[in-house]
Amino acid sequence: MFNSIVNMHVGLAGSGKSHLAYTFPKFYCISTEPNNHWVWELNPELKKNMVKHEYFIPEKNTLKDMFVQIEDKINEAKELHVKGEVDTLILDNLTYLVHNRWMWIKLYAKKLTRTGEVDTRGMYGDLRSWGYDFLLMNILSFKGNVVVNVHEMQENDEALDKKIDKSITIVPNITGGLRNDVDGLFSNVFYLSKINRKEGGYRYMCRTNKGSSKNAKNRFNLDEVLEDVSYQVIRDAINKTTNKKGEK
């Protein structure tokens, strides 16, 4: 039986990642993106979905313990889910979280080679392992809806040369090699865009299948593009393809 949505939303800044995430019901948001509270402050219909919103913006005196505190808040969200108070866990944004972890590794877990030089390669390996473990054991172990937002970027030529499918040039903007693993962890990987309406306002859209140099995917045989995308639009589209129309 289809119960929860497990999504990664990829897009440029301003493409509607946070807006879409905040349409999900009863959300607990772990935020590493400065000032993204304005999305729901300026859209009161989104604010009603919020149960809790926790910021983790690193400073010199907070970075060391930040990741322990994040895990504590995720555990709180899980406890609230068991009580029926939280339906959705949001991580907004993975790009910043991984970059912050890279800062942490350079400060508190630096590796050296046998000759005493900084072992950047080994540290990137640690970053990749940490990111995979963090997503799997902390975020994706949440039993309700999961939304992880991440910026997109153009892959560089050196990285493209190593890829089998060189048609995929737009990838999640994640420091290190985690961006090569992350797609497989989610049921849906949606690439978002936002266009102006002639009558005013914006139209939010997402690509749900591979195309346009993007490795979007879904496990529900959805249409290639969803328009005016929101939690309910996604839920209805999945229900349609799984013959569970009207399930909420």
* 6-11 vs 145-154, strand pairing mode: parallel
Digit-coded pLDDT (tens) for 75-116: 999 999 999 999 999 999 999 999 999 999 999 999 999 999
Mean pLDDT of 66-71: 97
pLDDT of residue 161: 63
189/14: higher pLDDT:
189
* 170-172 vs 145-154, strand pairing mode: antiparallel
Name the E strands within the chain: 6-11, 27-31, 50-55, 88-92, 145-154, 170-172, 188-196, 202-207, 217-218, 225-227
Digit-coded pLDDT (tens) for 168-200: 788 899 999 899 889 999 999 999 998 888 887
Reduced to 3 states (helix: H, G, I; strand: E, B; else coil), residue 226 is strand
Task: Quickly state the pLDDT bin for 137 (edges 50, 70, 90).
Answer: very high
Picking from 50, 26, 20, 5, the residue whose alpha carbon sits closest to that of residue 235 is 5
Instruction: Report whether pLDDT(159) > 90.
Output: no
Q: How far apart are CA 179 and CA 188, in angstroms?
A: 15
pLDDT of residue 141: 97
Mean pLDDT of 17-34: 95
* Long-range Cβ pairs for the range 129-137 (8 Å, 24+): 130/101, 130/105, 131/98, 131/101, 131/174, 131/176, 131/178, 131/182, 132/178, 132/181, 132/182, 132/185, 135/94, 135/182, 135/185, 136/185
Q: Which pTM was predicted? A: 0.92
Domains observed in the chain? 6-241 (3.40.50)
User: Where does residue 40 rank: exposed (0-12), middle (13-18), buried (19+ CB within 10 A)?
Assistant: buried
